[in-house]
A and B are shown apart, each in its own frame.
Chain A
Amino acid sequence: MSPTPVSPARSNRGSHCGRISVIATHAFTQLVRMKVFYFLAVFAVIVIGSNFFDLPQHVGPEAAGTNVLNSIKSWSIGTMSLFSVVFAIVATALLLPKDVEDRTLYTILAKPVPRIDYLAGKLLGVLLLVFVSLALMDVLMTVVLQIRTSMILSGQMEMAHSRGWPAAEIASLRADILRQGPNASLQGAVWAVFLRASIMASLALLISTFSTSTLFTSITSFLIYFIGYFQADARDIFLESGTAGTGWVARTVSLFVSLVLPDFHLFNVIDAVIQGQAMPLIRLWELTGIGLFYAVFYVLASWFIFAEKEF
């Protein structure tokens, strides 16, 4: 038996990034082939339908039409929020159990693939899909918003000119309308939606490492999502009402809850941006930093549990 020469196939050791990107793109295509993008058609209907939530004006002609822009924005971003969170949770929750059930997990782990690469790859695949979907929805929303803003703007300019408004007033009106239209802060709000979905996906990943059921993982993740919102409000309401002695246990519990669970309250900036507030870039960075912190922590925690899991 002659010694086998080292074949070119075996000489390349591969890299973490390489393996993670393989698994991520694979998870992405797997999810896409589940016909997820059909949802975008529903979204398109919602965005275009939100155009019609236009009330007759009873305030003043200057307010005419900008309220529908508010409506378009809140419908679109509301749908994006809902979709991204639901999808992030459910997609992540089903990926691991599916691999275990189909035994394809064995074939992957039997290759020289570290378990963290596997987890990170699956998560990134989900995040990629959420990102692409949000990007497409964002484009659609921005286009519809831009069209509607232009229509309102031209209508209002016509009205203002025909009534002989002075230039300063016309400029102010124009600035007011444009501020309600698409702008950079609105994109920041969409990014905040993505960050929130990313946190939920990584949390679902953690839960799926010790739960074996997609349903359980999904439900627990949704519960945590809602508690994460309630806890900020409920905790403050509770503390403000200030019952001294009896609140001790509940206060400790809520303290634990607020430490362990993510604080989604920060992402309510989305509301303010829809109402026309500007979000400075530095805040966006800070939010991204916090989102990254959560995601990395949950992935590492997932790895910690997944590493000793037996199949």
Chain B
Amino acid sequence: MADATPAVEICGLVKDFKTSFRRQMLRAVAGVSIRIEPGEVYGLIGPNGSGKSTTMKALLGLVAPTAGTCAIFGQDSLRVDSRREVGFLPENPYFYKHLSGAETLRFYGRLCGMRGPVLADRVSELLALVDLESARDRRLGGYSKGMLQRIGLAQALVQDPRLLILDEPTAGVDPIGSRQIRDLIFKLRERGITVFLCSHLLEQVQEVCDHVGIIFQGKMVKEGRLEDLIAIEDQTEIVLRDASPELVAQITALVANSPEAALVRTGKPRTTLERLFLRETLRDDP
């Protein structure tokens, strides 16, 4: 019962910006095409200045394409109605500092046409989802960076969109906060919400996304399913726990007997610094 309409369809997007020199135009995006099916988590990665943010903004109608089209669930991005289905979290957002968490969500909810008990319920639901209920009446001026990102995520979800666009969702957030955001994205994926995010924190993209596109100097240089892209095709990994040295020797011998396969390496796999950090810090939480 998948929707035939893709969640996002960008065809041949070209965007030129005028620089201070009259003649020269800066081509920020040079013919990018992206197709995201509903329910996918798509990551757009690339170095700074590669055109990620511009592509997202074109999708949201914040900039008008020089050439090409962008569509969200079939509706052209330049139309206001296309944004009914979209929630957007910009990079490093500052929300209105004088509002509290709940007031912020109420504000955005009312902008989308929600009001009354429907809105109130939704606000509570979202605050629970992003784990900010304890801070619901605190002014945003007193929120930490991680909390701001979470409230930003809640704001993006306020009208229950089918597509979520996240620009650098974990930039500047500590590992605990990052982990929370990633868990949220997983939860949203389970609900069937399409997520389109861009980041240059590659490890995090690797954990969350199932589709990836690499953009460089305004062009897509690689695109596809994550598993397909990063699998080192000719290598296989087996990780054992509590394996005796005899078992390891047996497996090594098996490989040695196989005609094509060759043993690349054995040894102790490394944990990541992030896991170590989380293990140490979360253990101290009451």
**Do any CB atoms of chain A lie under 8 A from CB atoms of chain B in the complex?**
yes
- A residues near B109, Cβ cutoff 8 Å: 9
Asked, given contacts A1-B2, A107-B95, A112-B80, whether A10 binds B159 with beta carbons under 8 Å apart, the answer is yes
Per-residue 0/1 for A37-62: is the Cβ within 8 Å of any B Cβ (1 yes, 0 no)?
A: 00000000000000000000000000
Task: Kindly provide the distance from the CB of A118 to the nearest chain B CB, expressed in whole angstroms.
Answer: 9
Asked, given contacts A2-B1, A22-B110, whether A9 binds B192 with beta carbons under 8 Å apart, the answer is no
Does B62 count as interface, using CB distance less than 8 angstroms?
yes
Bound CA span A26–B99, Å: 9
- A residues near B160, Cβ cutoff 8 Å: 7, 9-10
- B residues near A19, Cβ cutoff 8 Å: 110-111, 113
What 5 A-B pairs have minimum CB-CB distances, sorted nearest first? A14-B113, A110-B88, A9-B160, A102-B94, A310-B63
Q: Quick one: which of B97-135 are within 8 Å of A by CB?
A: 98, 107-115, 118, 122
**What is the chain A residue whose CB lies nearest that of B2?**
A1
**What is the chain A residue whose CB lies nearest that of B152?**
A107
Asked, given contacts A110-B88, A112-B83, A308-B64, whether A14 binds B112 with beta carbons under 8 Å apart, the answer is yes
Task: Kindly provide the distance from the CB of B184 to the nearest chain A CB, expressed in whole angstroms.
Answer: 17
CB <8 Å contact, B1 and A3:
yes
Bound CA span A262–B152, Å: 43
Does A163 count as interface, using CB distance less than 8 angstroms?
no
Residue in B80, B87, B114 whose CB lies within 8 Å of A114? B80
Per-residue 0/1 for B45-84: is the Cβ within 8 Å of any A Cβ (1 yes, 0 no)?
A: 0000000000001001111100000000000000011011
CB <8 Å contact, A4 and B113:
no
Task: Kindly provide the distance from the CB of B90 to the nearest chain A CB, expressed in whole angstroms.
Answer: 4
8 A-B contact pairs sorted by A residue (CB < 8 Å): A12-B113, A12-B114, A22-B111, A103-B93, A107-B89, A107-B152, A110-B83, A310-B62
Asked, given contacts A10-B159, A311-B63, whether A108 binds B111 with beta carbons under 8 Å apart, the answer is yes
Interface SS of B by simple majority: loop
- B residues near A112, Cβ cutoff 8 Å: 80-81, 83-84, 112-113
CB <8 Å contact, B63 and A15:
no
Q: Quick one: which of A1-40 are within 8 Å of B by CB?
A: 1-4, 7-10, 12-15, 18-19, 22-23, 26, 29-30, 33
Asked, given contacts A2-B1, A103-B90, A104-B94, whether A10 binds B84 with beta carbons under 8 Å apart, the answer is yes
Per-residue 0/1 for A215-253: is the Cβ within 8 Å of any B Cβ (1 yes, 0 no)?
A: 000000000000000000000000000000000000000
Interface SS of A by simple majority: loop
Residue in A14, A33, A308 whose CB lies within 8 Å of B111? A14
Does B191 count as interface, using CB distance less than 8 angstroms?
yes
Does A305 count as interface, using CB distance less than 8 angstroms?
no
Does B86 count as interface, using CB distance less than 8 angstroms?
yes
Q: A30-B96, A103-B91, A112-B83 are in contact. List 18 more A-B contacts (CB 8 A).
A: A2-B192, A3-B1, A4-B162, A7-B160, A9-B112, A9-B158, A12-B118, A13-B84, A14-B113, A22-B110, A22-B111, A26-B107, A30-B98, A102-B96, A104-B95, A106-B90, A107-B93, A110-B62
Bound CA span A104–B39, Å: 27
What is the interface residue range for chain B against chain A? 35 or more
CB <8 Å contact, A9 and B114:
yes
- B residues near A8, Cβ cutoff 8 Å: 118
Asked, given contacts A19-B111, A30-B96, whether A107 binds B155 with beta carbons under 8 Å apart, the answer is yes
Bound CA span A114–B162, Å: 20
Does B92 count as interface, using CB distance less than 8 angstroms?
yes
Per-residue 0/1 for A295-311: is the Cβ within 8 Å of any B Cβ (1 yes, 0 no)?
A: 00000000000001011
- B residues near A308, Cβ cutoff 8 Å: 64
